[in-house]
Amino acid sequence: MPGPTMFLPPPRARRGAALTLVFAGVLATGAAAGAWSADARDGRKPTDARGASRTAARSAASAIGTGGVPRPLDHRTVEAAAERAERDGKSGSQAAADEITRSGDRWSAVYSAREYEGFARALDGAYVGVGLSARRGGQGRTEVDSVRPGSPADRAGIRPGDRLRAIDGAAVDGRPVTEVVARLRGDAGTGTPGAAAPGSPVRLGLQRGGRSWDRTVLRERLSTESVAVERLPGEGPGAMTVTRIKVDSFTKGTGERVRRAARSAGRGEGVLLDLRGNSGGLVAEAVTAASAFLDGGLVATYDVHGSQRALEAAPGGVTRPPLVVLVDGGTMSAGELVAGALQDRGRAVVVGTPTFGKGSVQMPTRLADGSVAELTVGHYRTPAGRAVDERGIVPDLVVHGDAERRARTVLSGLGGGS
């Protein structure tokens, strides 16, 4: 039986060693008072139910605060359904998926052992992809935000600022950044993280100026660079120098890298914590990242089967540099946890657009055939008690265009223009 709040990826430890706040797009969750292990995670996004290996049933009844909460699934019910199916010579994972579909919970899902290992690898800081990141441009367009040196995208001549028109023939304009990333990695459609093997092809439709072209590149296994730190000089007389900390996801080691970056900000400088497009990750790492800017205290509360628990920041974070957090609709789960904590604690001004809204807690159960069912067991709230699920974090300053420039203006104001 799974432990009360714990969850570990399948190959490395028994079921029940670390709870997940599953957030969309990829993966999820936390570490307070010994209640969370470093392997807790969040971050998968709902996908269409396809095949025996998974379901992510969508239901309006799953909305929190709009009149309905999906019927909680007991892991024993799912295990029993899978075992009965196996005895009858049927698919146990499909039987488990059917139970989830009937529950109306779009966040619970069934994954094959191979798919689940893909999650574990991603959280360890490795993934299969082409080495580019995407951003939302004007008029709903999708643009290349950055290209990793030496990556397949780099070798194909793709540059930051190029418009990404399509992936494998599917138009991506207007699609969430997280969905675009999933397609680049081969996760979309089937919803199978880790399903695209190194060497698998992906056809990209691109545009630069008036030129449009298609280019097929081969995915490779890449290591995750989840944190990028840049020191930005002030723009104009008296403008504040800014340490920009861009966090793409909360994989292992991310929290400590954020802590080091926060401590590197000089006197009279500001910190811009950029969580736009952050797809979540290990909540232990998210709590460590929040702790970098707090001197102890509450980060979030969560309930599991009706039991209330708390995630606490470690003492000793930097509390002097003015702090602005950038968010958007691609900021999910663990990213929302950090943004909500810093906002509620009065430590940061949050700038951007409302976040995704993924605040439910999943716990894994291994089935007899080796597949894994992740079942919703509860939800987390910000320090002020705000629910995140289906609501997201609403910025203090809602900005739809040039959010980073506005964020730097806010930072200068917080620092008194010095």
> Catalytic amino acids?
333, 358
Cβ contacts of residue 88 below 8 Å, gap of 6+? none
Q: In what order do the strands lie in the sheet with 349-352?
A: 227-232, 242-247, 270-274, 323-327, 349-352, 397-398
* CA 253 to centroid of chain Cα atoms: 15
Q: Cβ(124)–Cβ(252) under 8 Å?
A: yes
Total number of residues shown for the chain? 418
Q: Outline where 213-264 has alpha helix (H).
A: 254-264
Q: Which helix (H) or strand (E) holds 339?
A: helix 333-344
| 69: helix, strand or coil | coil
State the number of CA atoms in the 13 A half-sphere of 55 facing the CB. Answer: 20
Residue 27 tokens read as: 């993966």
1 and 32 Cβ atoms separated by less than 8 Å: no
How many angstroms separate the CA atoms of 338 and 279, rounded? 12
**Please, are residues 407 and 326 in contact by the beta-carbon 8 Å criterion?**
yes
| Residues 6 or more apart in contact with residue 145 via CB below 8 angstroms | 132, 133, 134, 135, 160
Angle made by CA atoms 155, 160, 165, in degrees to the nearest 5: 90
